Amino acid sequence: MTLRLYDSAAREVRDFVPLRPGTASVYLCGATVQGVPHIGHVRSGIAFDVLRRWLAYRGLDVLFVRNVTDIDDKILNKAAEAGRPWWEWAATHEREFTRAYDALGVLPPSAEPRATGFITQMVQYMERLIERGHAYAADGNVYFDVRSLPDYGSLSGHRLEDVHQGESAGTGKRDPRDFTLWKATKPGEPSWPTPWGDGRPGWHLECSAMATSLLGAEFDIHCGGMDLIFPHHENEIAQSHGAGDGFARYWLHNGWVTMSGEKMSKSLGNVVAIPAMLERARAVELRYYLGSAHYRSMLEYSDGALAEAAAGYRRIESFVRRVAERVGDVEVGEVNDDFAAALDDDLGVPAALAAVHNAVREGNTALESGDGGRARQIAAQVRAMTAVLGTDPLDPHWAAEGVDDDAHAALDVLVKAELERRAQARAAKDWTTADEVRDRLAAAGVEVTDTPDGAQWALKSKEH
């Protein structure tokens, strides 16, 4: 393996060496299913879907776990406001997240555990922590003693004297900096029995229990948004190390999606829900856009940026389809060296996309010069590269979004006849006729782009 990844815990790029040869074990903090997902929620799913696909392409058997937080203060509050049972509210929005992931071509995880399904493992984890002197029970709550772990704060860089957990009030804490493993039952809230009284899990405990139950006491990679570094991931490390588990060997964190420079969140009101977004752009174009930035960078959302990304994707799609139509079936080939080097360098998607577009330009030149064999070879490379990015234009997953192959071929004949008429008009300096052809095609949803290789066409993305 030549893959190098930025490890948030080490604060440096490290060679990725799997714990078990031939296998990569990955845990991704998934959704807290409190509402309809927006594009900020699914960015981590897309970013680490690329990681998963690249690990698999490199020959590893990938065990990929993405959890569902289905019990949480936010879920209980939202359900109560809506007058709905908490379990129905969670299940309804879990389905919304699943639909969003599926629509955007995110591969299903190897396992998708729910917090409520791992209560027994959480109780066992707390018993281990209490026995080892890292946790204590008080008034039916169970807390983690942050002072008991000398390296607490190592992931986030927080000094112990500056720690504020930001959690809802409990009783019996020895130190306000301690965090809650188990919350004592309150009237009207769901609860489960434990040796310390009925209650429900704290947020952080669930991930340690689920990750180690499914992937083992030590595993390769833990992923999530950078907003989870503190307190969530810091507290996961504290729990796990306190219980004697090695836990994650690499920590990867993706940047936020922002609008006007602010993190996208429901509290700010600047959300862009996935169902609404899919009325504005094809799912494959939305995926291409959300996955186009480096995973560790911020992605500033704007309609213009989405439109620009969609146009870029259509150039890739148009090339692959044109080769298939002119030369014959295009199989999925192998990625080129530039693409591989880019992804091996901490999943450098921007550089990888540059390699894709360079290949497309070369392929278009070969196609127009009559070298169909070379164009087909390049198109096979492009299919392989976009497959790793989850945006292969000929992947059957995207087929329902566009025009089927027979209809596309028929449309291509008609559009090219119009483009030939436009070219003749332009050559004769008959600008009125040339503009009429362009406007008529635009009104029909066909976008024309003039290139050095001649006019190219593509179906427009959906508009608002």
Q: What is the pLDDT of residues 146-166, one digit of tens each?
A: 999 999 999 999 999 889 998
* Residue 324 included in any domain: no
CATH code at position 24: 3.40.50.620
Look up residue 385 and give its two tokens: 């590269």
Examine the fold and report which residue of 203, 231, 254 is the final residue of a domain before the chain moves on.
254
Q: Treating both helix axes as pointing N-terminal to C-terminal, what angle do 39-57 and 86-103 enclose, rounded to 10 degrees?
A: 50
Res 410: pLDDT: 66
The average pLDDT across 251-272 equals 82
* Residue 113 included in any domain: yes
* Residue 217 included in any domain: yes
Contact call for residues 183 and 199 (beta carbons, < 8 A): yes
Question: For 104-118, how does the pLDDT look when each residue is reduced to its tens digit (9 = 90+)?
Answer: 999 999 999 999 999
The average pLDDT across 262-271 equals 70
Q: How confident is the model at residue 403 (pLDDT cuts 50, 70, 90)?
A: very low
* Residue 281 included in any domain: no
Look up residue 450 and give its two tokens: 């003039």
B/e letters for 7-45, b = 16+ CB within 10 Å, e = fewer, are bbbeeeeeebebbeeeebbbbbbbbbbbbbbbbbbbbbb
Q: Treating both helix axes as pointing N-terminal to C-terminal, what angle do 203-215 and 234-242 enclose, rounded to 10 degrees?
A: 60
Q: How many residues does the chain have?
A: 464
Question: For 441-451, how does the pLDDT look when each residue is reduced to its tens digit (9 = 90+)?
Answer: 888 878 787 76
Q: Is the pLDDT of residue 404 over 60?
A: no
Q: Is the pLDDT of residue 321 over 60?
A: yes
- pLDDT: which is higher, 54 or 408: 54
Res 464: pLDDT: 33
User: C-alpha distances in angstroms, 33 versus 65, 90, 119, 274?
Assistant: 17, 5, 18, 14
Percent of the chain with pLDDT over 70: 94
Q: How confident is the model at residue 193 (pLDDT cuts 50, 70, 90)?
A: very high
Q: Is the pLDDT of residue 396 over 70?
A: yes
Res 442: pLDDT: 84
- pLDDT: which is higher, 361 or 423: 361
> What average pLDDT does the structure give for the chain?
92
Examine the fold and report which residue of 254, 287, 322 is the final residue of a domain before the chain moves on.
254
- pLDDT: which is higher, 102 or 462: 102
Domain count within the chain: 2
The residue range of the domain holding 55 is 4-254
* Residue 392 included in any domain: no
User: Phi-psi category of 390—alpha, beta or left, where left has phi over 0 and alpha has psi -120 to 50?
Assistant: left
Examine the fold and report which residue of 206, 222, 254 is the final residue of a domain before the chain moves on.
254
Res 386: pLDDT: 98
Helix-, strand-, coil-residue percentages of the chain, each rounded to 5? 50, 20, 35
Res 37: pLDDT: 94
Distance CA 25, CA 219 (A): 6
Res 260: pLDDT: 77
* Residue 188 included in any domain: yes
Contact call for residues 263 and 40 (beta carbons, < 8 A): yes
Amino acid at 3: L
Question: For 25-46, how does the pLDDT look when each residue is reduced to its tens digit (9 = 90+)?
Answer: 999 999 999 999 999 999 999 9
Res 457: pLDDT: 77
- pLDDT: which is higher, 250 or 428: 250
* Residue 322 included in any domain: no
* Residue 260 included in any domain: no
User: C-alpha distances in angstroms, 240 versus 103, 177, 209, 228?
Assistant: 34, 18, 9, 16
Q: How confident is the model at residue 263 (pLDDT cuts 50, 70, 90)?
A: confident
Give the pTM. 0.86
Q: Kindly give, in sequence order, each residue whose CB lies less than 8 Å from that of residue 439, ignoring residues fewer than 6 positions away.
A: none
